[in-house]
Amino acid sequence: MLFVTKMYKDIGVWLTNELATECNTRKRKKIKDTKIINPFFRSMSDSVKHGDVYWGNILLSCAKGSFPRNFFLSNDILMYGKTTKRKEFILSSDSARAADQCILIFKKYNQLYSEKDRKRNKMRENVISSMEYTWQSIRSKTKRFQLIYDYVMNKYRDDPRELKYRIYDILCLGIEYKSINNTMITFENKKIMNIEGIMIEDGTVSLIRDTKPVSTYKKKTLFNKGYVVKWGKMKEKMRKNAFITSVV
């Protein structure tokens, strides 16, 4: 009798365990099936996870319906932002290309970066900073004008404001129209240290070539009328585009 009772008890425990195992298996399978609601993002995740686990996990979260801040999916189109300023991104049908698109978009709008991204960015910054940085290498007129402005405001900081602006205008014009060439500019540590080729006397600023004044700035006289007009237009353009807010 005791043997039969024990046998039934053992069978009951076994059945209970089997039912529990089957129930848990079905439950896990159901959860696994329902987690992935955007299968294409799962494919994207698989295409990048071996190269960068961080982005693989981000895209896997998207596959499960959890997108980075302000992003969502609508009719297979990646959307960003609120209704009034919403942006739409149509992704490539190729999972690898689409993954690259998403990564670039998430970087741009949410500033998301993996550890590998940060290391690459740091290396790029180091390479750029180690490159030779000379006056000749600066192609942007806006950047050049700003450097000249900084130089004038620093070197002539104790002079009257009106005189500083006269000097600034003459230097910009002299450099723009080649009266002051690159050999006359001392440029170190990403700033102008000295500019040769001008003479200042009794409030008059002159450009010098072979020790002879070739053009003067007193009151409103700059080179000749044509140069005055060109420089005026150039400064007006900078004001409109907010290139250099301090240009007068």
pLDDT at 24: 54
Dist CA 3 CA 9 (whole Å): 10
CA distance 173 to 169: 6
pLDDT confidence of residue 219:
38
pTM: 0.44
Confidence of residue 144 (pLDDT cuts 50, 70, 90): confident
What would the pLDDT profile of 15-63 be if each residue is shown by its tens digit?
455 555 555 555 444 444 458 899 999 999 998 887 889 999 999 999 9
pLDDT, tens digit, 9 for 90 and up, residues 156-186: 888 887 888 888 888 888 888 788 888 899 9
The answer to whether the CB of 142 falls within 8 A of the CB of 243 is yes
Sign of CA dihedral 105, 106, 112, 115: negative
Q: Is residue 39 within 8 Å of residue 83, measured between CB atoms?
A: no
78 pairs with which residues across the strands? 73, 89
For the chain, the structural domain boundaries read: 39-129, 141-240
**How many other C-beta atoms can be found within 10 angstroms of the C-beta atom of residue 244?**
16
**Residue 217's closest CA among 177, 155, 161, 164?**
164
Position 62 scores a pLDDT of 93
